[in-house]
Structure 1
Amino acid sequence: MTTPALNLTVYGTPGPQGSKTRNAAGALYESSAKVKPWREAVKTAALDALHHDDAWSALNEPVWLDLQFSLRRPKNHYGTGKNAGRLKTSAPHFPTSKPDLDKLVRSTQDALKDAGVLADDSVVASLSTRKVFVLWGDALRTPGAVIKVWRLNDLYKEA
């Protein structure tokens, strides 16, 4: 299989984008305070990776975007007292609470566009996403995401 056009590891707490709230003056703002730092972390990681590729231009062709978000487990998944630091047997294997996966994708795609990885969100023709807890399987050791971008035209040439 062709290697991804871009392979990034981004560290930081993934922030969802989408929900808006109105302040007393009626202005809209993001409900999540995590979205701005997350978008900056993704943008910075992308710009750092692209810094070494003078020939790179924003992808304006069909791409497959693969995102794996690694999230911190809530404290209530762990025991207390002599069991502090041990995962409870009742702790879920997968994160099924907020943040919503589609909102994490939205903030990440927008950051990739801002960094010049994608010409527009609309070029994403295939998307695979998942959210996992840190230290689970191939997840990161700290919160963040692994982002892979493939040129679909290259993959179809191989087939």
Structure 2
Amino acid sequence: MIKFFVDGTPAGQGSKTFYGKGRMAESSKKLKPWRDEVTRVAKLHAPDTPLDEPVKVTVTFWILRPARPKFKDYPATPFDLDKLQRGVGDALQQAGVLKDDSRIVTWNAKKRFTDDAPGASITVEPLWDALRASLSDE
């Protein structure tokens, strides 16, 4: 099991801005610094050989609580959860944690408010290990 925390403001990947003549770019300027930081921290925890098997990724995105949130207990705000996941999956591959982010077959992802430390808690575990753990809990 690989487990780590990434400090910073989570940013989503997937929304594109069209510039004409087939040129497109990520809409969020926050994406590159966020994905670079996830990649940097993930490299510190990467195995000698990237995982090349089905994995489960569990991630909690910690979003700074605004002074007056629209929804008291949950950050039902941009970025979309699936777009946040996409950036993490790509960073795990780029860091050498995973051979390919298509190895992620199960996601457990959520967004939560924090009052002090935005970022993401990330756990990557081979699916067989996750299944054994859940069976032993029964």
Q: Same fold (TM over 0.5)?
A: yes
State the percentage of identical aligned residues: 40
Higher strand share goes to which structure?
2
Runs of 4+ off more than 4 Å: none
User: Which residue of the other structure, out of 112, 115, 118, is the alignment partner of 1:143?
Assistant: 118
Q: How many Å separate the matches in 1 of 2:30 and 2:21? A: 22
Question: Which digits, 9 at most, give the CA deviation of each residue in 1:136-155, with x for residues without a partner?
Answer: xxxxx311000001111233
Amino acid at match of 1:102: D
In the alignment, structure 1 residue 73 sits paired with structure 2 residue 73 = no
Does the 8 A contact of 2:56 with 2:130 survive in 1? no
* 1:23-42 equivalence runs, <5 A: 23=19, 27-42=23-38
Residues 5-31 of structure 1: per-residue CA shift (max 9 Å, x gap): 210100001010000002366521110
Normalising to structure 2: TM-score of the pair? Answer: 0.88
TM-score, with structure 1 as normaliser: 0.77
Instruction: Specify the code of the residue in structure 2 equivalent to 1:154.
Output: D
Distance in 2, matches of 1:23 and 1:75, equals: 36
Residue 157 and residue 134 in structure 1: after superposition, are their counterparts in 2 closer, same or farther (change >3 A)? closer
The alpha carbon displacement at 1:99 in A equals: 0.7
Aligned partner (choices 10, 19, 38) of residue 6 of structure 2: 10
Aligned to 2:52: 60
- 2:72 paired residue number: 92
CA distance, structure 2, for counterparts of residue 73 and residue 155 of structure 1: 32
1:75 aligned counterpart, secondary structure: coil
Q: What RMSD, in angstroms, separates the aligned Cα atoms of the two structures?
A: 1.8
Residues 10-63 of structure 1: per-residue CA shift (max 9 Å, x gap): 00010100000023665211100111011011000011223xx5xx21111011
Tell me, which stretches of 5 or more residues in structure 1 are unaligned?
Answer: 78-89, 136-140
Task: Select the structure of larger CA radius of gyration.
Answer: 1
